[in-house]
Structure 1
Amino acid sequence: MVEKARREYLAQVQETIKTEILMGQSVSSLDYEVVQLRAETSSLRQLNSQLVGELESTKEAAAAGEKRLEEVGKLSEAKGQLEKAASSLAALTTERDAAEASKQKLEAEKADLMNVGVDALTDGFELALEQIRCVLPDLDLSQFSIYHEVVDGKLTPPAP
């Protein structure tokens, strides 16, 4: 009977380890996506500032050339370029906002996955303690905690 309980316990421990590995891989892939989104956000910000600079220089060029273009009749072309730069800036701003929203969503998903992982580990530990209570009902389990560590074959409380 003890051997059967031991086999069941080992099977549950193996399942817990598999779950931890899968959770770690999910979190790692989310971390990678968050890093990519941060890089994209950074490049979008740089592109945004570059376009703002280009927009400012285009505005200055348009203001200076407006007087000349009025004489030549090409004012509409400069205004078209300015509108094109403004619409490009608006499009990049929209892309940046979408990337930031996606980043926040991924960070929320990461936090949820971390909570699920912690809950699974805690539940697994509690299940293991319950199994020990079934096999050894007189054993005092109050000294055991999920936060304790085994150092040199001895159970030690967590460092503060």
Structure 2
Amino acid sequence: MAISTANAEHGGSGSRPSNTGATHENFSRVISMHRRQKALEKKVKELEHDNESLHSDLEAAQGSVELMRGMVEKARREYLLQVQETIKMEILMGQTVGPLDLKVAELQAENSSLLERSQMVEELEAENSSLRQQNSQRVEMLKAAKEATAAAEKKLEEAVGKLSEAASSLATLTTQRDAAEASRRSLEAEKEDLMNVGADSLIDGFELALEQVRCVLPELDLAQFSIHHSVVDGKLKPPTP
């Protein structure tokens, strides 16, 4: 029983596992990944807002291009009709070529104006194409940001799972430690009880031996004997203070 008690004393309190450091590290990683996820979500929202703005600008530019194109085509048709009507009227009225040349010059000037408008339409189409390209780039950035957010969420879930496993392991180890501590205390109490019983038995045995000596040698002075004395070189030696 004394050997078991000593083992319990040396082994019971020595095996106290601790996983607090690893748990704190996992928790810090989870917090860091959560902040990164929030930053990515904010970036995604900004890109979505920019994408909507570009989409609105693109629609407005497309509407302007279509409107200008319709105006140019309408003007071309009207001027062609005017040219045809003018030629018919001048032929019927027998006018000279001079006025016709003047009218042709006017029509050419109008045609130049139409060409300028056509050039404006082309410029608007080029601007529209640039907006489409920017919109495409923003869409790609938005897609990449969403993929990064999804990856961060996956890592966050994995980290939370590991943290949960670590917390469960820590709870199990804590339970085992508490059980070992309770066992150690029980063994210490049992050891103390056994030591008290042994001491009482030793004292009772010594007193019984003195009674037997007193019975056999009643004239012997037993006051010099004590359970605390020891024998050194054939002589009684009291305990050292």
CA RMSD of aligned residues (A): 2.5
Cα deviation, residue 102, structure 1 = 1.4
Contact 2:33 2:152 (8 Å CA) reproduced? no
Partner of 1:74, secondary structure, is helix
1:106 to 131, 147, 163: 131
1:128 aligns with 2:153: yes
2:111 to 78, 82, 86: 86
Q: Which moved more, 1:106-115 or 1:60-69?
A: 60-69
Residue number in structure 2 paired with 1:149: none
Q: Which moved more, 1:68-77 or 1:50-59?
A: 68-77
Q: Which moved more, 1:123-132 or 1:111-120?
A: 123-132
2:64 to 40, 48, 55: 40
Give the whole-Å Cα distance in 2 for the aligned partners of 1:54 and 1:77: 19
1:20-46, CA deviations, whole angstroms, 9 ceiling, x for partnerless residues? 111011101111111111111111111
Give the whole-Å Cα distance in 2 for the aligned partners of 1:124 and 1:66: 75
Amino acid at match of 1:100: E
Give the whole-Å Cα distance in 2 for the aligned partners of 1:123 and 1:10: 13
Please say which structure displays the higher CA radius of gyration. Answer: 2
Residue number in structure 1 paired with 2:140: 115
Cα deviation, residue 69, structure 1 = 8.0
Cα deviation, residue 132, structure 1 = 4.3
Amino acid at match of 1:107: R
Closer, same or farther in 2 for the Cα pair 1:49/1:104, shift >3 Å? same
Cα deviation, residue 97, structure 1 = 1.3
Give the whole-Å Cα distance in 2 for the aligned partners of 1:75 and 1:129: 79
Contact 1:51 1:89 (8 Å CA) reproduced? yes
Contact 2:44 2:142 (8 Å CA) reproduced? yes
Cα deviation, residue 135, structure 1 = 5.7
Give the TM-score of the pair, scaled to structure 2.
0.51
The higher-RCO structure (CA 8 Å, 6+ apart) is 2
Cα deviation, residue 3, structure 1 = 3.3
1:133-153, CA deviations, whole angstroms, 9 ceiling, x for partnerless residues? 45646x9xxxxxxxxxxxxxx
1:29 aligns with 2:53: yes
Amino acid at match of 2:114: L
Contact 1:58 1:82 (8 Å CA) reproduced? no
> Within 5 A, what are the aligned runs for 1:10-21?
10-21=34-45
Amino acid at match of 2:129: Q
> Within 5 A, what are the aligned runs for 1:64-79?
64-67=88-91, 68=93, 70-71=95-96, 73-79=98-104
Give the whole-Å Cα distance in 2 for the aligned partners of 1:73 and 1:105: 48
Of all paired residues, the percent bearing the same amino acid is 13
Give the whole-Å Cα distance in 1 for the aligned partners of 2:105 and 2:86: 10
Give the whole-Å Cα distance in 1 for the aligned partners of 2:109 and 2:98: 19
The unaligned stretches of length 5 or more in structure 1 are: 140-160
Give the TM-score of the pair, scaled to structure 1.
0.73
Give the whole-Å Cα distance in 2 for the aligned partners of 1:85 and 1:65: 20
Amino acid at match of 2:56: Y
Partner of 2:96, secondary structure, is helix
Amino acid at match of 1:95: M
Give the whole-Å Cα distance in 2 for the aligned partners of 1:78 and 1:69: 15
